[in-house]
Structure 1
Amino acid sequence: MVFHSPKRSRRTALTEGFIAGILFGTSSIFIRLLDVLSVSSLAFWRLIIASAVLVGVTLVLRESFNLRMAKENVRQISILGIFLGLHMVLYISAVKNTTILNATVLVNTAPIFSMLLSTFHFNLKPSRLAAMGLTTSFLGAGLIAYADASSPLKIHLIGDLEALLAAVAEAFYLSYGRETRSKMPLLSQVIPIYLVSAFIIGFLCLLTRTPITLPQQPNMILFLIGFGILPTALGHTFYYSSLSNLKSFETATLALLEPIGATLLGVALFGEIPTALFVLGAVLVLSGIVAVALKE
């Protein structure tokens, strides 16, 4: 991992995004394996564990942590922490309330929302290809929602909505993060961002009297540590790092590896075999996202 270097190349950033996409595929699996923990507990501990791991990396590799720059950019870090916290809570809840395929496909509509954000915020008119991709993705999302509406498990619709809201939060996180990424070294950003997210989640749990618990079984503790390391300390950090040389659309598109890997693991571990309508909807969503990303 290249933490801070003026010689960073686009190829390095693409490699980071590719690795992040693969690691993200483990996220939904860990959430399912850790079904004994609540959404807030999972979100809180994954961020705390990731922060602790990255602090350890900083010490071992003797990477400098620029506290002064972190203080100077506290507003940006706080905003990013809020968006990341929202994304994680919504995504974890989505995985609990719908299928792995639905959650991972719908959360990866983030490039679509990034494009919409650019259109309305920066007054950038989308190209014909991007508009076609947007339409295709929403058609696919509609098919997935229709399939769930026809299912006796109505809770899946709630999970689908949560996954879409998680994608919106991720779009804001990436768009805002791209402006901040180049201002300071990587670890001086992501550690405070993760800690701010964890603090906000913990504070809200305190206000709502929602307990944050730890698992007692040794295997569950190992799963929780893995959840904090693989998709978070490594995955999300590589993901954010790639923003230095990629557009937010490109970074988000590399995460499309997540639903592929997660769905295969879901079939193997939990027997979640997607129906034909789900697969068709997923293909439309992913095709639309690729169309948007190719143009951008």
Structure 2
Amino acid sequence: MLAAGTTVVLWASAFVGIRHVGTEVGPAALTLGRLAVAALVLGLVLLARPRAAGPRPSRRDLPLLLLCGLAWFGAYNVALNAAEQRLDAGTAAMLVNVGPLLIAALAGVVLGEGFPRPLVTGLGVAFAGVLVIGAASSSGGAEAWGVVLCLVAAVAYAVGVVAQKPLLGRLTGLRVTFLACAVGGAACLPAAPALADDLAAASTGTVLWLAYLGVFPTAVAFTTWAFALSRTTAGRMGATTYLVPPLAVLMGWALLGEVPAALALAGGALCLAGVALARRRPAP
């Protein structure tokens, strides 16, 4: 429970950090910088505590590690960073939080965790919420491309979690997180020149926020997530992120002075209601 709570709070803060850093650093460069910091921190932990690393991955683990790293750590972050150049932190968090529904759906098919009727209802309600948030773009409350990018991020998030779950039965969360960071970072290496240019011109606050994103919402939070996920189902663990959007809205208001448009808030409420419906146990 503590691990899941730590993840939720730190991930909520990430939406605010991305929003701030994104004003001076491009989407791919931000991803590379964040993952490089996280990989460095996790690598040092692994060197200092080799017993905590656990067994090394086998050849059969490599496809899932690549998929997890490319989808969740790479594509998810680039898409979300680009989305938050168009949307406020709270709206982005509400849209990405349809990810738990996609996790539950994929886990039901791929991992055999079941595909109950409430999930279908929840998917419908959450999709209606996405449409409402998308409609906010016509009134200036959100940009349509930002909505699309958030949905791309949500799909990448779901694919990454479902790929990660089987790995945690054989490898430690610390090792999986480190390797996934390395894979995602390697995929973003073409953005290294842009990262160097952006950081050279960035303010001290932006550099500190980037370091924060790498250490806490990535190195710490993804490790606590993996620890908790190894002890429950992917669908149930995805449901623990219910609190990320409201926390992100509060943090965005307190730290950035942002408040999502009323129509976007209504759509976000529908998205959360859909997630809640999807996680209800079917009647016996």
2:22 matches 1:55: no
Summarize deviations over 1:236-279 as a string: whole Å, max 9, x none: 22122222112112222212222111111111222222233222
Identity of aligned residues (%): 23
In structure 2, which of residues 205, 208, 212 is the aligned counterpart of residue 219 of structure 1? Answer: 205
Residue of 136, 156, 159 corresponding to 1:147: 136
Aligned CA distance change for structure 1 residues 161 and 67 (closer, same or farther; 3 Å): same
| Whole-angstrom distance in 1 between the partners of 2:158 and 2:119 | 16
CA separation of 1:92/1:247 partners in 2, compared to 1, >3 Å: closer, same or farther? same
Whichever residue aligns with residue 21 of structure 1, its letter is V
CA distance in 1, matches of 2:20, 2:114: 43
* Residue from 105, 109, 113 that aligns with 1:116: 105
Instruction: For 2:211, give the aligned amino acid.
Output: I
Equivalent-residue separation in structure 1 for 2:246 and 2:108 (angstroms): 29
Q: Name the structure 2 match of 1:93.
A: 82
Count of aligned residue pairs for this structure pair: 277
1:138 Cα deviation after fit: 1.0
Q: Where in structure 2 are there 5+ consecutive unaligned residues?
A: none
Q: Deviations over 1:169-190 (max 9, x none)?
A: 1111111111111111222221
Establish whether residue 291 from structure 1 lines up as the match of residue 277 from structure 2. Answer: yes
Residue in 2 aligned with 1:138?
A: 127
Alignment of 1:1-296 (within 5 A): 14-34=1-21, 35-65=23-53, 68-69=56-57, 73-84=61-72, 85-118=74-107, 121=110, 126-151=115-140, 156-203=143-190, 205=191, 211-213=194-196, 215-216=199-200, 217-295=203-281
TM-score (norm: length of structure 2): 0.88
Give the partner amino acid of 2:25.
Answer: L
CA distance in 1, matches of 2:92, 2:169: 31
- Match of 1:215, SS state, is helix
Secondary structure at the counterpart of residue 268 of structure 2 = helix
CA distance in 2, matches of 1:127, 1:243: 20
Runs (5+) with no aligned partner, structure 1: 1-13
Q: Contact 1:49 / 1:225 at 8 angstroms: preserved in 2? A: yes
TM-score, normalised on structure 1?
A: 0.85
Query: Do the aligned partners of residues 252 and 38 (structure 1) sit closer, same or farther apart at CA in structure 2, a change above 3 Å counting?
Result: same
1:241 aligns to what SS in structure 2?
helix
Evaluate the alpha carbon distance shift between residue 28 and residue 269 of structure 1 in structure 2; reply closer, same or farther with a 3 A threshold: same
Question: 1:135 & 1:272 partners in 2: Cα distance?
Answer: 29
Q: Note if contact 1:108-1:252 (Cα within 8 Å) is conserved in structure 2.
A: no
Rounded to whole Å, the distance in 1 between the matches of 2:114 and 2:67 is: 27
